[in-house]
Amino acid sequence: MKPSLKDVLRESHIAVVVIVVLLGQGVLRLVQLLLLSATNAVDFLTEAFRYPYFHASYKSIPNFQSFSLLIFAALPFFAVAWILSTWMFAAGPFQAVITYVANLRRSDD
């Protein structure tokens, strides 16, 4: 009898590598989001100190657009990692990777 796709992916390291790459891409987008927020806060504070009576609200719309774009860019990576790990290992992505690494270390001993 031929093994199913799920069994083949579980025996190879492909599923775990894909989950780790998807989580890494999602975390990368969140780090970009944090850096963008930090630079926007620094820009706002420097403008506030430089021009104390000037209201710089015109900059808030592009900042919100880039914020929402990065959030919506990170969510699909986490969602696909969660769906794949739930289908393959019946656990969340972090728990699936931790369990897989523990099983891999146990099998090496």
φ and ψ of 38, to 5 deg: -65, -45
Global pTM value:
0.77
Q: C-alpha dihedral over 31, 40, 42, 53, to 10 degrees? A: -170
The pLDDT of residue 104:
86
Q: Flag residues of the chain having pLDDT under 70.
A: 54-65, 109
Provide the 8-state DSSP code for 59. Answer: G
The pLDDT of residue 98:
93
The pLDDT of residue 62:
60
103 dihedral zone (left: phi>0; alpha: psi -120 to 50; beta): alpha
The angle subtended at Cα 46 by Cα 43 and Cα 52, nearest 5°, is: 125
Q: Would you state the structure tokens that stand for residue 28, as one six-digit string?
A: 């990368």
The pLDDT of residue 56:
57
